Structure 1
Amino acid sequence: MSETYLVRYVGGPLDGRVDTLDGAPEDPRSTVTHVHLHGGPKIVHHYDLEYALEYGCEYRVREA
């Protein structure tokens, strides 16, 4: 039985989002890109991996 792995997002439009995975990814991505399309110009946010532990990792929005 695998433990739940949590992926947390801090800042930007994904602030407070928590994704739950069945297990830890072999190699967590160092950057996650979020593209927001809302009928106007697209808005792109980049989230950088801040820490990875056995139970989860945290991505923080990159400051412009």
Structure 2
Amino acid sequence: MTDSYFVRYVGGPLDGRVDTLSVLPAEPRSTVTHVHLHGGPKIVHHYDLHYAVEYGCEYRLREV
């Protein structure tokens, strides 16, 4: 049995999303960029890395 590493997203269009990784990344990305294409202008959201002791890391929507 292996432990899973969870990556959670808070805020914006990815709010509530949870990715499960089988291997802990050596260096998680400090920022994740999400580009939303919906037939109109593209909308870009940036998520910044925060650590959560309970489950791994969390990406929170960057406030502008």
TM-score normalised to structure 1 length: 0.90
**What is the 5 A alignment of 1:12-31?**
12-31=12-31
How many residues align? The count is 64
Residue type at the aligned position of 1:6? F
1:10 to 1:54, Cα distance in 2 relative to 1, 3 A: closer
Aligned to 2:5: 5
What is the distance in 2 between the residues matched to 1:14 and 1:26? Answer: 23
> Post-superposition shift, 1:55?
3.8
What is the distance in 1 between the residues matched to 2:32 and 2:45? Answer: 8
What is the distance in 1 between the residues matched to 2:47 and 2:35? Answer: 11
The RMSD of aligned alpha carbons is: 1.5
Percent identity over the alignment is: 80
Q: Tell me whether 1:58 sits opposite 2:58 in the alignment.
A: yes
Aligned to 1:40: 40
1:3 to 1:54, Cα distance in 2 relative to 1, 3 A: farther
TM-score normalised to structure 2 length: 0.90
Q: Which sections of structure 1, spanning at least 5 residues, go unmatched?
A: none
> Post-superposition shift, 1:56?
1.6
What is the distance in 2 between the residues matched to 1:59 and 1:6? Answer: 11
